[in-house]
Amino acid sequence: MNELLGHVNYWIVIFLMMMGLYMVIASSNLIKKLIGISVFQASVFILYITFGKITEGSPPIITDNTDVYSNPLPHVLILTAIVVGVATTSVGLALIVRIQEAYGSLDEDDIHDINDNDDFDIKSRSIT
């Protein structure tokens, strides 16, 4: 019973992670792929924060009436990772916007088709 409850977080996190991965593989739309990557990333964050939790612990802000604090180190790592994550996501979105401008499509299959077409010249389509 204890074993089951103690691991349920990990299992659900892995489910979330794999659903994110499936979104990346199965959707041909680039924005949906990016959402999939973000879901994957968020599930890694949840995994780290789960490591840091101590039962009956309190948030790692020192007060007089407790002496069990949850582990602050994963919190620090994930706090900065979230902000860096949004910064990198925005770079991804910027790339997607430029791809849309150059190819007129966000669909991976369409982009492959256009690339296979010999007449297509990426330089003439890109906007300076």
Which is nearest to 56 in space by CA: 71, 47, 69? 69
Selected binder of another protein within 1, 62, 116, 118 (CB under 8 A): 62
Q: Does 37 bind another protein (CB under 8 A)?
A: no
Selected binder of another protein within 18, 66, 120, 125 (CB under 8 A): 18
Q: Does 102 bind another protein (CB under 8 A)?
A: no
Nearest approach, Cβ of residue 99 and another protein (Å): 9
Q: Does 54 bind another protein (CB under 8 A)?
A: yes
Residue 107's DSSP bridge partners are 29
Instruction: Report the C-alpha gap between 78 and 45 in whole angstroms.
Output: 6
| Nearest CB to another protein, comparing residues 101 and 113 | 101
Residue 29 CA to chain centroid, in angstroms?
16
Which is nearest to 128 in space by CA: 92, 88, 89, 101? 101
Q: Does 115 bind another protein (CB under 8 A)?
A: no
Nearest approach, Cβ of residue 118 and another protein (Å): 26
